[in-house]
Amino acid sequence: MTVAPSTGAHTAPERVAATLRDELLDGAHPVGTRFREEDLAERFDVGRHTIRAGLRLLVERGLVIHERHRGAVVAPLSRQRIDEVFDYRKLLELGALRMALDAGADLGPVLAEVERLEALAERSPGPSWRELTQAHSAVHRAIVATAGNAHVLESYRRCEDEVRLLLTFVRPDFDARRMAAVHRELVGRLGTGGETAVRALTQDIDHTGRAALLTALHRAEESARLLGH
């Protein structure tokens, strides 16, 4: 079967990577899924070298890992992975917010993204999980962008897909309305400025995002224990 090209992807490896990325961000490939080159080559009607190049792009984005003798695999959730990604994200977001507050930057673009998230939450039928995390990511990218530093923003973009992939694990705990409400409260507290704004963003990253993932990890570990794995 030939897969239709994805918007924004120009080369064959990019088209392969874009399609698989969309599926991963929708939670279509569970932990442990192995992407077999021969199967993907048949699916996309391309050579295996094209598939390998596409999978390398996914590895670079943190969406899959490469295991010796197994190839590209969807990595499991772990405390180390959660902490590494969220510590990196926290460092960049809080640093950018402090820069923005010190400069008296306009937080209007953050509010605009929250309003888009709220509109998405009101849509019927509701958004896909990928659409929801895309809107969520846009809110936090807007926070980083208020610093006005292109290098910081580019560094943040490197972790966006991996954050979105991790959020597929908390899908049972969040829906669009809850996510919109959480970020409406966040943007309100950011608008007060000072340490109140910094504490609000810290709470959102650590006590909403990171904590939800750790709960999901505990749930998965408990299920595995009960099943004797």
Instruction: Specify the pLDDT at position 220.
Output: 80
Tell me whether residue 203 is in a domain: yes
- Comparing C-alpha atoms, which of 6, 26, 27 is closest to residue 17? 6
Q: In what order do the strands lie in the sheet with 65-67?
A: 34-35, 71-73, 65-67
Q: pTM score > 0.75 for this model?
A: yes
pLDDT at 194: 96
Last residue of a domain, one of 23, 50, 73: 73
Amino acid occupying residue 228: G
The predicted pLDDT at position 55 comes to 97
* Rounded average pLDDT per 10-residue block, the chain, 229 residues: 52 96 94 94 97 96 91 92 97 98 97 98 94 97 98 97 93 91 97 97 95 92 72
Domain assignment of residue 7, yes or no: no
Shared domain for 66 and 97, answered yes or no, is no
* Residue recorded with tokens 């970020």: 183
SS3 67: strand
Render pLDDT for 170-182 as a digit per residue (tens, 0 to 9).
988 889 999 999 9
2 is a domain residue: no
Which residue, 57, 73, 89, sits at the end of a domain? 73
DSSP designation for 205: I
pLDDT at 149: 98
Q: Which residues span the domain enclosing 133?
A: 79-226
CA 143 to chain CA mean position, Å = 15
Question: 51 lies in a domain?
Answer: yes
Q: Which of 35, 86, 88 is nearest to 65 (CA)?
A: 35
pLDDT value of residue 69: 83
Helices H / strands E in the chain, number of each: 10, 3
